[in-house]
Amino acid sequence: MPHGLGYALDSQIVSQLTPKWVEALSEDRVVGVTLGYCGFTLAVTDAGAIFSFGRNQKGVLGHGSLEDEVLPRRIEALARTGRRFVSVAAGGSHALALTVEGDLYGWGDGNANGHGCEEHTPHRVDALIGERVKLMDAQHNASCAVTESGELFTWSSSGSFYNLGHGVTYPQSTPKRVDVLSWARVAAVAIGSCHTLAADEDGRVWAFGQRSGLGLDFNPDGWIPQQLPFMTWPTPISKVRVPARKSPDVLPVR
């Protein structure tokens, strides 16, 4: 069965080659969709509800079980919080959701959901209680969040590529502040399974992780040995700048 399409295919069909309307969501106004690496889909509506469907590895659909879902199903554990969710991010087998107030929820794979243990239903990420999260991202086995004050937190089931910005290779299963950037006021971030890019409010772009994924075959700042395969700490790329910006008041739906 193809996973994550939001509808059932005829038994004679193995894939859907052209776009097809997801009728199960016809009564909802979907404002954001994110796709998980292991064959699942998450959708957020303008009413602040989150739906999930597809393959349910490690409980990533958030329904409290390991059963796959062919059709979109609202995540009731999030609905019961009474909160309005404005953004959702999907990793390999974990997911994150953000409320309009800046509270972060995670579920799925235990080393990437922010809890340090596998969760089949969403729970608020304890390590970030008291912080107002403005931005967040998830990738294969890694996650990150940016707070209202511009501080960057990262966590992952694997830190072997230095993509967490902590200068070490061991996993970080709960959010940890990237101290090197604590003064920079991060305004945008994108995390990958092997590398990460962040931009601060002054337009500087910071890179860390596997150099090949960052496009850094050149020596960006003149002092980093070119033969090193990793940037072990967040390092500014002097030849790249972006327009100065501030973190948004409300995270745009992804």
- 17-28 confidence digits (pLDDT tens): 788 888 899 999
Tens of pLDDT, residues 33-49: 999 988 999 999 999 99
Q: Answer yes or no: is 98 within a domain.
A: yes
The answer to whether the CB of 125 falls within 8 A of the CB of 140 is: no
Q: What's 138's domain CATH number?
A: 2.130.10.30
- Percent of the chain scoring above 90 in pLDDT: 59
- How many CB atoms lie under 10 A from the CB of residue 35? 12
Lowest mean pLDDT among 12-26, 64-78, 129-143: 12-26
| pTM exceeds 0.75 | yes
The answer to whether the CB of 195 falls within 8 A of the CB of 154 is: no
Q: Answer yes or no: is 13 within a domain.
A: no
Q: Answer yes or no: is 123 within a domain.
A: yes
Per the structure, the count of domains in the chain is 1
Q: How far apart are the first and last CA of the chain?
A: 27
Q: Answer yes or no: is 105 within a domain.
A: yes
Q: Answer yes or no: is 169 within a domain.
A: yes
Q: Answer yes or no: is 159 within a domain.
A: yes
Residues 197-215 have a mean pLDDT of 85
The answer to whether the CB of 85 falls within 8 A of the CB of 47 is: no
Give the pLDDT band (50/70/90) at residue 140: confident
pLDDT of residue 252: 43
Q: Answer yes or no: is 252 within a domain.
A: no
Q: Answer yes or no: is 16 within a domain.
A: no
Strand ranges, E, within the chain: 30-36, 40-45, 50-54, 69-74, 85-90, 94-99, 104-108, 119-124, 133-139, 142-147, 152-156, 172-177, 186-191, 195-200, 204-210, 230-241
pLDDT of residue 244: 64
Give the pLDDT band (50/70/90) at residue 251: very low
* 44: helix, strand or coil: strand
Could you list the residue range(s) of the whole structural domain that residue 130 is in? 23-241
